[in-house]
Amino acid sequence: MLFPLARDLPDTQVVSRFLAKIALEAMALRLVDFPQGITYLCDEAQLDVLHDHARKGYISPWPVHIRTIYHQNGKTFGLEGKAEQIVHEFGFLVTEQSEWFLS
């Protein structure tokens, strides 16, 4: 999915549902080597709201905050000094209250 950087993202449920799906997939990627982690991700009641929003868009509005870190045509240089484009990256911020934020 491509969003032009010249404009703000559409203020619709589609964007928040898409990001909810990305968050679930990103958590699954981190847990893929731990079968009990995948089971937790599927069965944990606290994640039901996120699952429901990603699948059916039950919660509206779901707040989304997005910022651009890299210019769309920006390059960084690898270890060998060759220019590389950063396509995407992500991480999780986990608070002391066990809240998870996709960053």
Q: What is the pLDDT of residues 66-78, one digit of tens each?
A: 777 777 677 788 8
Please answer whether residues 60 and 53 qualify as being in contact, where contact means their C-beta atoms are separated by less than 8 angstroms.
Answer: no
> Position of tokens 């429901």?
52
Give the model's confidence band at 101: pLDDT under 50 very low, under 70 low, under 90 confident, else very high. confident
Q: Is 43 a residue whose pLDDT tops 90?
A: yes
Element spanning 103, H or E: none
Distance (Å, whole) CA 51 – CA 41 = 10
